Amino acid sequence: MSILTVKNLTKQFGGLVANSNIDMEVQKGSITAVIGPNGAGKTTFFNMVTGVYQPTSGEILLNNESIVGLKPHQVTKKGIARTFQNIRLFGAITVLENVMVGMHNHLHGGLFGTILNLPRVRKEEKEARREAYRLLEYVGLESFFNEEARNLPYGAQRKLEIARALATKPKVLLLDEPAAGMNPKETSELTKLIYNMREELDLTIILIEHDMKLVMEISEHIVVLDHGEKIAEGTPDEIRNNEKVIEAYLGKGAATTAS
Protein backbone atom coordinates (compact mmCIF):
# COMPACT_ATOMS: atom_id res chain seq x y z
CA MET A 1 0.00 0.00 0.00
CA SER A 2 1.37 3.37 -0.88
CA ILE A 3 1.37 5.96 1.89
CA LEU A 4 2.86 8.86 -0.04
CA THR A 5 2.17 9.44 -3.72
CA VAL A 6 3.79 12.18 -5.78
CA LYS A 7 2.47 12.98 -9.25
CA ASN A 8 4.03 15.27 -11.84
CA LEU A 9 5.65 17.40 -9.19
CA THR A 10 7.33 20.50 -10.64
CA LYS A 11 9.03 23.44 -8.99
CA GLN A 12 10.42 26.44 -10.83
CA PHE A 13 12.41 29.27 -9.32
CA GLY A 14 12.04 31.90 -12.03
CA GLY A 15 13.63 30.31 -15.07
CA LEU A 16 15.35 27.58 -13.10
CA VAL A 17 13.54 24.27 -13.01
CA ALA A 18 14.51 22.67 -9.70
CA ASN A 19 12.16 19.72 -9.98
CA SER A 20 10.38 18.67 -13.13
CA ASN A 21 7.55 16.14 -13.40
CA ILE A 22 8.62 13.87 -10.60
CA ASP A 23 6.47 10.80 -10.00
CA MET A 24 7.01 8.63 -7.00
CA GLU A 25 5.23 6.12 -4.83
CA VAL A 26 6.37 5.31 -1.33
CA GLN A 27 5.16 2.05 0.20
CA LYS A 28 3.94 2.10 3.77
CA GLY A 29 6.60 0.82 6.13
CA SER A 30 9.39 1.01 3.55
CA ILE A 31 12.74 2.73 3.59
CA THR A 32 13.14 4.78 0.44
CA ALA A 33 16.26 6.69 -0.55
CA VAL A 34 16.41 9.74 -2.78
CA ILE A 35 19.88 10.13 -4.27
CA GLY A 36 21.53 12.22 -6.91
CA PRO A 37 24.51 14.51 -7.48
CA ASN A 38 24.71 17.89 -5.76
CA GLY A 39 22.09 20.31 -7.06
CA ALA A 40 19.86 17.53 -8.35
CA GLY A 41 16.85 18.93 -6.51
CA LYS A 42 16.62 16.46 -3.63
CA THR A 43 16.17 18.99 -0.85
CA THR A 44 13.76 21.02 -2.98
CA PHE A 45 11.72 17.86 -3.27
CA PHE A 46 11.70 17.44 0.53
CA ASN A 47 10.81 21.08 0.99
CA MET A 48 7.77 20.66 -1.22
CA VAL A 49 6.59 17.55 0.57
CA THR A 50 6.88 19.32 3.95
CA GLY A 51 5.18 22.51 2.79
CA VAL A 52 8.20 24.81 2.96
CA TYR A 53 7.85 25.43 -0.79
CA GLN A 54 4.64 25.34 -2.76
CA PRO A 55 4.98 23.27 -5.95
CA THR A 56 4.54 25.06 -9.27
CA SER A 57 2.39 22.15 -10.37
CA GLY A 58 1.71 18.56 -9.43
CA GLU A 59 0.12 16.60 -6.63
CA ILE A 60 1.33 15.23 -3.31
CA LEU A 61 -0.97 12.73 -1.62
CA LEU A 62 -0.58 11.42 1.90
CA ASN A 63 -2.89 8.43 2.39
CA ASN A 64 -4.75 9.56 -0.74
CA GLU A 65 -5.32 13.02 0.68
CA SER A 66 -3.72 16.02 -0.98
CA ILE A 67 -1.29 17.98 1.19
CA VAL A 68 -0.39 20.57 -1.45
CA GLY A 69 -1.02 24.09 -0.19
CA LEU A 70 -0.73 23.20 3.47
CA LYS A 71 1.62 25.20 5.70
CA PRO A 72 4.61 23.36 7.18
CA HIS A 73 2.98 23.09 10.61
CA GLN A 74 -0.16 21.62 9.06
CA VAL A 75 1.88 19.06 7.17
CA THR A 76 3.51 18.11 10.46
CA LYS A 77 0.07 17.67 12.00
CA LYS A 78 -0.87 15.34 9.15
CA GLY A 79 2.01 13.11 10.16
CA ILE A 80 5.12 14.03 8.16
CA ALA A 81 8.22 14.96 10.15
CA ARG A 82 11.66 15.86 8.90
CA THR A 83 15.25 16.61 9.79
CA PHE A 84 17.41 19.19 8.06
CA GLN A 85 20.54 18.95 5.95
CA ASN A 86 22.04 22.01 7.65
CA ILE A 87 21.23 21.26 11.27
CA ARG A 88 18.45 23.46 12.59
CA LEU A 89 18.26 22.79 16.30
CA PHE A 90 17.00 25.27 18.87
CA GLY A 91 20.54 25.97 20.05
CA ALA A 92 19.99 28.01 23.20
CA ILE A 93 17.52 25.68 24.92
CA THR A 94 18.25 22.30 26.45
CA VAL A 95 18.28 18.98 24.65
CA LEU A 96 15.22 17.80 26.55
CA GLU A 97 13.31 21.00 25.70
CA ASN A 98 14.22 20.58 22.04
CA VAL A 99 12.41 17.25 22.06
CA MET A 100 9.51 18.75 24.01
CA VAL A 101 9.07 21.40 21.31
CA GLY A 102 8.42 18.51 18.96
CA MET A 103 5.44 17.52 21.12
CA HIS A 104 3.84 20.91 20.59
CA ASN A 105 0.71 19.62 18.90
CA HIS A 106 0.15 16.83 21.39
CA LEU A 107 0.07 19.14 24.41
CA HIS A 108 -3.12 21.01 25.20
CA GLY A 109 -2.13 23.52 27.89
CA GLY A 110 -3.62 26.83 26.74
CA LEU A 111 -2.70 30.35 27.79
CA PHE A 112 -4.98 30.56 30.82
CA GLY A 113 -4.47 26.99 31.90
CA THR A 114 -0.75 27.65 31.97
CA ILE A 115 -0.98 30.96 33.83
CA LEU A 116 -3.29 29.42 36.44
CA ASN A 117 -1.01 26.38 36.61
CA LEU A 118 -3.94 23.96 36.50
CA PRO A 119 -3.26 20.40 37.72
CA ARG A 120 -4.19 19.10 34.26
CA VAL A 121 -1.44 21.21 32.64
CA ARG A 122 1.12 20.28 35.30
CA LYS A 123 0.44 16.59 34.83
CA GLU A 124 0.67 16.90 31.06
CA GLU A 125 4.02 18.69 31.33
CA LYS A 126 5.38 16.03 33.60
CA GLU A 127 4.29 13.33 31.18
CA ALA A 128 5.85 15.27 28.31
CA ARG A 129 9.17 15.49 30.13
CA ARG A 130 9.21 11.74 30.68
CA GLU A 131 8.23 11.02 27.13
CA ALA A 132 10.96 13.33 25.86
CA TYR A 133 13.49 11.58 28.05
CA ARG A 134 12.37 8.20 26.71
CA LEU A 135 12.90 9.46 23.15
CA LEU A 136 16.38 10.66 24.09
CA GLU A 137 17.10 7.21 25.50
CA TYR A 138 15.85 5.74 22.25
CA VAL A 139 18.41 7.62 20.16
CA GLY A 140 21.07 7.31 22.86
CA LEU A 141 21.35 10.93 23.97
CA GLU A 142 19.88 10.71 27.46
CA SER A 143 23.16 11.68 29.13
CA PHE A 144 23.00 15.10 27.46
CA PHE A 145 19.44 15.96 28.52
CA ASN A 146 20.29 19.12 30.47
CA GLU A 147 22.88 20.44 27.98
CA GLU A 148 22.24 23.32 25.63
CA ALA A 149 21.66 21.80 22.21
CA ARG A 150 24.35 23.93 20.54
CA ASN A 151 27.02 22.40 22.79
CA LEU A 152 26.47 18.85 21.53
CA PRO A 153 28.99 17.17 19.26
CA TYR A 154 28.01 17.11 15.61
CA GLY A 155 26.87 13.51 15.41
CA ALA A 156 24.74 13.92 18.51
CA GLN A 157 23.10 17.01 17.01
CA ARG A 158 21.99 14.93 14.04
CA LYS A 159 20.53 12.32 16.36
CA LEU A 160 18.77 15.01 18.36
CA GLU A 161 17.11 16.22 15.18
CA ILE A 162 15.78 12.70 14.71
CA ALA A 163 14.52 12.49 18.32
CA ARG A 164 12.84 15.85 17.91
CA ALA A 165 11.16 14.73 14.69
CA LEU A 166 9.98 11.52 16.37
CA ALA A 167 8.36 13.60 19.12
CA THR A 168 5.81 14.88 16.59
CA LYS A 169 4.58 11.26 16.30
CA PRO A 170 4.97 11.07 12.53
CA LYS A 171 3.79 8.41 10.11
CA VAL A 172 6.38 9.39 7.52
CA LEU A 173 9.86 10.53 8.50
CA LEU A 174 12.03 12.48 6.05
CA LEU A 175 15.74 12.42 6.81
CA ASP A 176 17.87 14.93 4.88
CA GLU A 177 21.43 13.61 4.81
CA PRO A 178 21.33 12.08 8.29
CA ALA A 179 24.86 10.69 8.03
CA ALA A 180 26.56 13.85 6.74
CA GLY A 181 29.66 14.57 8.76
CA MET A 182 29.51 11.34 10.77
CA ASN A 183 32.42 8.98 11.25
CA PRO A 184 32.04 5.30 10.19
CA LYS A 185 31.15 4.19 13.72
CA GLU A 186 28.45 6.80 14.08
CA THR A 187 27.15 5.96 10.61
CA SER A 188 26.75 2.31 11.49
CA GLU A 189 24.93 3.26 14.71
CA LEU A 190 22.68 5.48 12.64
CA THR A 191 21.97 2.70 10.18
CA LYS A 192 20.86 0.51 13.07
CA LEU A 193 18.73 3.32 14.47
CA ILE A 194 16.95 3.86 11.16
CA TYR A 195 16.20 0.14 10.91
CA ASN A 196 14.92 0.01 14.48
CA MET A 197 12.71 3.05 14.02
CA ARG A 198 11.03 1.50 11.04
CA GLU A 199 10.46 -1.81 12.84
CA GLU A 200 9.48 -0.53 16.27
CA LEU A 201 7.72 2.73 15.58
CA ASP A 202 5.71 1.71 12.53
CA LEU A 203 7.31 4.39 10.39
CA THR A 204 7.83 4.98 6.73
CA ILE A 205 11.24 6.51 6.12
CA ILE A 206 12.45 8.55 3.16
CA LEU A 207 16.05 9.68 3.21
CA ILE A 208 18.41 11.77 1.17
CA GLU A 209 21.95 10.51 1.49
CA HIS A 210 25.32 10.67 -0.21
CA ASP A 211 26.87 7.79 1.72
CA MET A 212 26.28 5.01 -0.85
CA LYS A 213 27.23 2.24 1.55
CA LEU A 214 24.46 3.31 3.88
CA VAL A 215 21.99 3.83 1.04
CA MET A 216 22.60 0.45 -0.54
CA GLU A 217 22.54 -1.34 2.77
CA ILE A 218 19.40 0.17 4.16
CA SER A 219 16.96 1.09 1.44
CA GLU A 220 14.43 -1.10 -0.29
CA HIS A 221 13.67 1.40 -2.99
CA ILE A 222 15.86 4.10 -4.49
CA VAL A 223 14.88 7.12 -6.55
CA VAL A 224 17.62 8.92 -8.47
CA LEU A 225 17.32 12.58 -9.38
CA ASP A 226 19.56 14.53 -11.71
CA HIS A 227 19.05 18.10 -12.87
CA GLY A 228 15.62 18.06 -11.29
CA GLU A 229 14.40 15.03 -13.15
CA LYS A 230 13.88 11.49 -12.04
CA ILE A 231 16.34 9.42 -14.09
CA ALA A 232 15.87 6.04 -12.46
CA GLU A 233 14.19 4.13 -9.67
CA GLY A 234 14.32 0.60 -8.37
CA THR A 235 15.97 -1.72 -5.90
CA PRO A 236 19.59 -1.08 -4.85
CA ASP A 237 20.82 -3.73 -7.26
CA GLU A 238 18.97 -2.25 -10.20
CA ILE A 239 20.29 1.21 -9.39
CA ARG A 240 23.87 0.02 -8.99
CA ASN A 241 23.86 -1.26 -12.56
CA ASN A 242 21.80 1.46 -14.15
CA GLU A 243 23.74 3.20 -16.90
CA LYS A 244 22.00 6.53 -16.54
CA VAL A 245 22.87 6.64 -12.84
CA ILE A 246 26.51 5.87 -13.41
CA GLU A 247 26.58 8.50 -16.09
CA ALA A 248 25.04 11.09 -13.82
CA TYR A 249 27.56 10.43 -11.10
CA LEU A 250 30.72 9.74 -13.06
CA GLY A 251 30.19 11.17 -16.53
CA LYS A 252 29.59 9.59 -19.93
CA GLY A 253 32.98 7.96 -20.29
CA ALA A 254 32.60 6.04 -17.05
CA ALA A 255 29.28 4.63 -18.18
CA THR A 256 30.68 3.17 -21.38
CA THR A 257 33.72 1.68 -19.65
CA ALA A 258 31.51 0.06 -17.04
CA SER A 259 29.31 -1.65 -19.57
Q: Please, what is the minimum distance in Å from the beta carbon of residue 242 to other proteins?
A: 33
Would you give the distance in Å from CA 60 to the centre of its chain?
A: 16
8 A C-beta contact, residue 187 and residue 179 = yes
Q: Which is nearer to other proteins, 71 or 252 (CB)?
A: 71
- Least distance in Å: CB of 212 to other proteins? 25
* Shortest distance (Å) from residue 135 CB to other proteins: 11
Nearer residue to other proteins within complex by CB, 54 or 114: 114
Name the amino acid, one letter, at 116.
L
- What is the 8-class DSSP label of residue 88? -
Distance CA 4, CA 27 (A): 7
Q: Which residues bind other proteins (CB under 8 A)?
A: 50, 52, 71-73, 76-77, 81-82, 84, 88-94, 96-97, 100-105, 107, 109, 111, 114-115, 117, 121, 125-126, 128-130, 132-134, 137, 140, 142-143, 145-146, 148, 153, 164-165, 167-168
CA separation for the pair 211, 73 (Å, rounded):
30
CA 221, chain centre distance (Å): 15
Under DSSP, is residue 93 helix (H, G, I), strand (E, B) or coil? coil
100 vs 246, beta carbon nearer other proteins: 100
Q: Closest approach of Cβ 169 to other proteins, in Å? A: 10
Pick the closer one to other proteins by CB: 128 or 224. 128
> 143: which DSSP letter?
G
